[in-house]
């Protein structure tokens, strides 16, 4: 029975019209917004002291009386209306409210808007044991599954949103997260009962319908991204469509809101259905395992959305929308497929890491072999270099002395006395000893201190015999081992410096310093002789200074020379390899 306006608190006494539940009054009273009363009567058996009453839904808000006693009332029966449209209700009735053995009357006051299929759903009265399972089924479909699905959508949206934030190039994850968020916003419409934060039912419908349109557009873009396709202009067009939907619904006049909402809802469902169906067809054509894995979930969504489109257009007489339930399975399945794709990527990364480690180990082994070969070559080159240096020193030193002695004997064989010949032979012997001492023996490499001792002994005796006091300062040579070529160069340097003192200085005292430290080796020879001019000495016929400078260069050092009457000092500072 139609009431006058929104304030009808008392049911009319006459004018009742028989209807069959579920009932939608928009077909009977087009454009009517307000209150409609429904009256249900039944005979309660005398032996049944209890009765269960199940009301599957009413749209949008209402109040219920049994035999004149109020048993239920929504918070707001005028705009903004309480959103009780998807809330099943169950009451256990007993005396004195219930009248066993008499006629019982159930009055339902429904406040609704014609644009949103206002009316009353099925009402069932019977034994509580039979009605309660029906109520549990309705509550599961209309409430529990919706809340569970919202929880899944929230988790999926957060997970893939974070995953996309960490890997921006995986745009499919980002669109899936956005799609899940938009579906979450739309699906809240299934469970909320309070009209807050909107001042009218039209506000809620504009919010949920625009969210549905945005979801359908983002779902289509996600499908393209998952198939690794980009259509920039088409995607920009979808964004404009979603924006147009939002503006149209929020700016539409209240009288036209029902039509606008219906058109955009149909458009959103069509976009989603075509997207799902198109994906299934594409998956069948390409037959790629990754793309084909998502096809069953897309097919389920396509069937559910097709059903819901017919429910919305009232082609099917029902108030249950399958998309709200199937979508969570679809979203969960999509999440599993994307998670599987992520796991495969991780496996590829792990395999890549394993291959990379193997390649690095192989390269390291090859590099170690190459370095070993290079080291062996360097050792060989060093030995060859030392042999060349030794051969050169033999040629320049001992060889030169032999050639000079031979030339002297050939030029005047009878003019040489026995002492002169003996002196020649001793010089050859001393030079040979120096080379032998510097190059080491077969019993292993010798320290520089051990090599220096024979030279020190011979030169000291020779210098002392010529009336020159020879003083040595030797320290820090314990364990100091040098390559044979370096040892020979250093010993030659000392030998030549002391020979020059003996031949040219006219000194009475000579001090020889050989000091080893952590950063190098110092060799110095200082006498108190007459001194000389270094430049004039190098330009003279003698080659002693030039030879010592050459030796210093080969050792990587420089000859330090100071000379004046009463003091001449020659020094050589050699850096050690470990310093």
CATH class of 142-346: mainly alpha
Task: Find, among 473, 471, 426, 479, the residue nearest to 450 by Cα.
Answer: 479
Flag whether pLDDT at 380 surpasses 90: no
Flag whether pLDDT at 268 surpasses 90: yes
| Calpha distance 214→265 (Å, rounded) | 11
Flag whether pLDDT at 48 surpasses 50: yes
Return the higher-pLDDT residue of 15 and 161: 161
**What SS3 class is residue 245?**
helix
Task: Give the chain's mean pLDDT.
Answer: 84
pLDDT digits (tens, 9 = 90+) for 319-332: 677 776 676 666 77
pLDDT digits (tens, 9 = 90+) for 420-466: 677 667 767 767 766 666 665 544 466 888 888 888 887 887 788 78
Flag whether pLDDT at 491 surpasses 90: no
pLDDT at 399: 57
Q: Which CATH superfamily is 23-126 part of?
A: Galactose-binding domain-like (2.60.120.260)
| Calpha distance 511→505 (Å, rounded) | 13
DSSP labels for 85-96? TT--EEEEEETT
CB 136 within 8 A of CB 89: no
- Which tokens sit at 255? 């009288």
Cis bond leading into 198, ω under 30°? Answer: no
Residue 50 forms beta bridges with which residues?
94
Tell me the mean pLDDT in the region 329-348. 74
pLDDT at 324: 67
Tell me the mean pLDDT in the region 195-220. 92
Confidence grade of residue 11 (pLDDT, cut at 50, 70, 90): confident
| Calpha distance 78→100 (Å, rounded) | 35
Confidence grade of residue 111 (pLDDT, cut at 50, 70, 90): very high
H or E segment and range at residue 119: strand 119-120
Region of poorest pLDDT, from 36-50, 169-183, 420-434, 564-578: 420-434
Region of poorest pLDDT, from 221-225, 265-269, 349-353, 355-359: 349-353
Flag whether pLDDT at 70 surpasses 90: yes
Placement of tokens 């010089």 in the chain:
427
Placement of tokens 């249950």 in the chain:
320
pLDDT at 461: 79
Q: Identify the CATH number of the domain defined by range 445-575.
A: 3.30.565.10
Region of poorest pLDDT, from 219-228, 370-379, 395-404, 550-559: 395-404
pLDDT digits (tens, 9 = 90+) for 139-196: 998 889 888 888 888 888 898 899 889 888 888 889 989 988 998 898 888 889 998 8
Taking the CA atoms of the chain, what radius of gyration do you get in angstroms? 55
Region of poorest pLDDT, from 84-98, 204-218, 252-266, 460-474: 460-474
pLDDT digits (tens, 9 = 90+) for 291-300: 888 888 888 8
pLDDT at 212: 93
Tell me the mean pLDDT in the region 344-355. 78
Q: What percent of the chain has pLDDT over 90?
A: 34
pLDDT at 355: 80
Tell me the mean pLDDT in the region 67-71. 94
pLDDT at 264: 95
Return the higher-pLDDT residue of 433 and 366: 366
Residue 125 forms beta bridges with which residues?
53
Characterise 428 by phi-psi region: left (phi > 0), alpha (psi -120 to 50), beta (else).
alpha
Identify the DSSP state of 134.
H
| Calpha distance 257→266 (Å, rounded) | 14
Q: Where are the domains of the chain?
A: 23-126, 142-346, 445-575
Parallel, antiparallel, or unpaired for β 23-24 and 58-59?
unpaired
Burial (Cβ within 10 Å: 0-12, 13-18, ≥19) of residue 350: exposed
Tell me the mean pLDDT in the region 523-541. 74
Flag whether pLDDT at 125 surpasses 90: yes
CB 337 within 8 A of CB 294: yes
Return the higher-pLDDT residue of 496 and 66: 66
Identify the DSSP state of 397.
I
Tell me the mean pLDDT in the region 254-279. 91
Note the pTM of the prediction, 2 decimals. Answer: 0.58
């Amino acid at each position: 029975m139609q009431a006058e306006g929104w304030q009808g608190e008392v049911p009319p006494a006459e004018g009742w019209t028989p209807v069959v539940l579920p009932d939608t009054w928009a077909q009977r009273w087009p454009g009517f917004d307000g209150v409609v009363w429904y009256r249900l009567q039944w005979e309660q058996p005398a032996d049944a002291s209890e009765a269960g009453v199940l009301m599957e839904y009413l749209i949008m808000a209402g109040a219920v009386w049994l035999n004149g006693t109020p048993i239920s009332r929504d918070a707001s029966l005028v705009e903004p209306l309480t959103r009780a449209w998807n809330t099943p209700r169950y009451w256990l009735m007993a005396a004195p409210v219930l009248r066993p053995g008499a006629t019982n009357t159930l009055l339902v006051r429904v406040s609704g808007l014609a644009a949103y299929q206002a009316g009353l759903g099925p009402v069932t009265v019977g034994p509580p044991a039979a009605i309660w399972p029906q109520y549990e089924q309705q509550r599961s479909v209309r409430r529990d599954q919706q809340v569970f699905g919202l929880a899944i959508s929230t988790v999926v949206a957060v997970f893939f949103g974070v995953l996309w934030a960490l890997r921006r190039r995986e745009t499919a994850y980002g669109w899936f997260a956005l799609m899940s968020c938009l579906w979450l916003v739309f699906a809240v419409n299934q469970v909320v009962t309070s009209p807050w934060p909107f001042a009218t039912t039209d506000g809620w419908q504009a919010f949920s319908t625009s969210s549905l349109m945005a979801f359908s557009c983002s779902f289509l873009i996600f499908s393209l991204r998952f198939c690794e396709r980009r259509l920039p202009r088409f995607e920009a067009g979808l964004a404009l469509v979603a924006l147009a939907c939002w503006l149209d619904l929020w700016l539409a006049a209240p009288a036209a809101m029902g039509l606008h909402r219906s058109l955009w809802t149909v458009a959103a469902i069509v976009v989603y259905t075509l997207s799902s169906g198109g994906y299934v067809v594409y998956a069948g054509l390409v037959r790629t395992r990754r793309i084909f894995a998502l096809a069953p979930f897309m097919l389920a969504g396509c069937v559910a959305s097709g059903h819901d489109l017919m429910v919305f257009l009232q082609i099917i007489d029902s108030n249950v929308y399958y998309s709200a339930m199937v979508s969570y399975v679809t979203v969960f399945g999509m999440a599993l497929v994307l998670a599987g794709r992520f796991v495969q990527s991780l496996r590829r990364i792990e395999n890549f890491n394993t291959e990379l480690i193997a390649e690095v180990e192989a390269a390291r082994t090859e590099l170690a072999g190459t370095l070993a070969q290079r080291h062996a070559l360097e050792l060989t080159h060093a030995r060859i270099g030392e042999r060349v240096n030794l051969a050169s020193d033999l040629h320049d030193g001992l060889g030169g002395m032999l050639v000079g002695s031979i030339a002297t004997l050939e030029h005047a064989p009878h003019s040489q006395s026995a002492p002169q010949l003996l002196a020649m032979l001793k010089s050859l012997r001393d030079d040979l000893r120096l080379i032998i001492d510097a190059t080491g023996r077969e019993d292993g490499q010798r320290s520089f201190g051990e090599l220096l001792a024979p030279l020190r002994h011979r030169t000291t005796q020779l210098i002392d015999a010529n009336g020159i006091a020879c003083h040595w300062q030797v320290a820090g040579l314990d364990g100091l081992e040098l390559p044979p070529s370096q040892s020979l160069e250093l010993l030659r340097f000392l030998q030549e410096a002391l020979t020059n003192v003996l031949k040219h200085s006219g000194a009475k005292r000579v001090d020889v310093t050989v000091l080893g430290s952590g950063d190098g080796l110092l060799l110095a020879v200082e006498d108190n002789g007459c001194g000389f001019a270094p430049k004039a000495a190098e330009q003279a016929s003698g080659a002693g200074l030039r030879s010592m400078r050459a030796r210093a260069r080969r050792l990587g050092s420089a000859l330090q020379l100071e000379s004046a009457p009463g003091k001449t000092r020659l020094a050589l500072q050699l850096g050690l390899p470990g310093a």
